[in-house]
Amino acid sequence: MPKILLRRVITPDPSAGHTHTIIFLHGRGDTAGEFAHKFQEWTDSKGRNLCKLFPSVKWVFPWCKKRPAVADNGAPWSQWFDVWDSTDFSDHEEVQAKGLRESIVNIRNIIKPEARLLGGRWDRVILAGVSQGGATSVHTLLNLVASSGSPRRLGALMAFCCRMPFPGRTLAETRAAVGLVETDEVPADDEMIRNTPVLLQHNRDDEIVRVEDGRELRDTLRRFGATVTWQEYPSGGHWLHEPKGVEDVAAWLTKYVFNPAARRESLASKKKGDTISGNYLI
């Protein structure tokens, strides 16, 4: 049975109402409370955080359970999934699968009630994550099945300083590597991926997850059919970039999530075969 995750919630401004929910996953070794606090200190050049810029958004910060870390003699770590060697993610990569399976099911069980609160509008729910939380968010999108009658997409996926667990595979092979079974609702197509806009940000001086791994994630998602905006910065380490990164997130959300006309235009262009994926270096 999936576990109920502890979480920290930042509610919308009452005067703005509740129009969207952003579910934001913390990184390995972090907690929901600590990450939510640091997130609110992530500001643009005018000192505004994303809660201030988008007052109608409900922010949900899930807290992953502690799992034994093989690299630390089985000591409990706060992590969405375990890794054998954080300097070489390809080494014994199969150890990632168990935690990913459990985390995907748990995150899907947060998405569903949030969508119900928004009138069944899955396209009003945004999934985000940093580092290992970003990688978990990516695999959740790849293994997401919308409720019957709901829009077959999320509002967006945003991932920061992260990589693709089980790289170099087809979409079907990537899903198989995680090992979700039919009772866990394995998607039969790629519609959710094709319809959900994706934002990836990465800093070139990231020493935990190399920017090359971020670029590989970008290329993989595009190969799977996603519309990906890639934003790369010269510095910022293994963390969210500021202030430019915050401003870029705000501009991107405004265009792809809070501007329905622009979203419809993007989908129409994509159906015609036009290239609409953003890609720029700062």
**Number of CB atoms found within 10 A of residue 246's CB:** 20
Q: Are the beta carbons of 273 and 67 closer than 8 angstroms?
A: no
With vertex at residue 145, the alpha carbon angle to CA 221 and CA 159, rounded to the nearest 5 degrees, is 35
Q: In what order do the strands lie in the sheet with 156-160?
A: 6-10, 57-63, 20-25, 125-130, 156-160, 198-203, 228-233, 279-281
**What pLDDT was estimated at residue 184?**
66
User: What's the half-sphere exposure (Cβ side, CA atoms, 13 Å) at 178?
Assistant: 32
- Residue 270: exposure state from Cβ atoms within 10 A (0-12, 13-18, ≥19): middle
Q: What would you report as the CA-atom Rg of the chain, rounded to the nearest whole angstrom? A: 17
**What pLDDT was estimated at residue 168?**
94
Looking up tokens 């985390």 gives: 103
Q: How far apart are CA 230 and CA 162, in angstroms?
A: 12
**What pLDDT was estimated at residue 206?**
97
Q: How far apart are CA 210 and CA 212, in angstroms?
A: 5
Q: For residue 2, is the peptide bond before it cis, meaning its omega torsion is within 30 degrees of 0?
A: no
Residues 6+ apart with CB under 8 A from 274: none
Q: How far apart are CA 93 and CA 158, in angstroms?
A: 24
Q: Is the C-alpha dihedral spanning 258, 64, 33, 129 positive or negative?
A: negative
Task: Characterize the bridge pairing of strands 198-203 and 228-233.
Answer: parallel
**What pLDDT was estimated at residue 192?**
95
**H runs (alpha helix) in 28-151:** 32-40, 50-53, 96-117, 132-142
**Greatest CA span in the chain, whole angstroms?**
53
Domains parsed from the chain with CATH numbers: 6-42+51-281 (3.40.50.1820)
**Number of CB atoms found within 10 A of residue 256's CB:** 23
**What pLDDT was estimated at residue 208?**
93
Q: How far apart are CA 28 and CA 78, in angstroms?
A: 6
What is the pTM assigned to this prediction?
0.89
pLDDT digit string (tens) for 35-89?
Answer: 999 999 999 999 999 999 999 999 999 999 888 888 777 888 889 888 876 766 7
**What pLDDT was estimated at residue 219?**
98
**What pLDDT was estimated at residue 1?**
39
Q: DSSP characters for 219-264?
A: HHHHHTT--EEEEEES---SS---SHHHHHHHHHHHHHTS-HHHHH
**What pLDDT was estimated at residue 91?**
65
For the chain, which ranges sit under pLDDT 50?
1-2, 4, 262, 265-270, 272-282
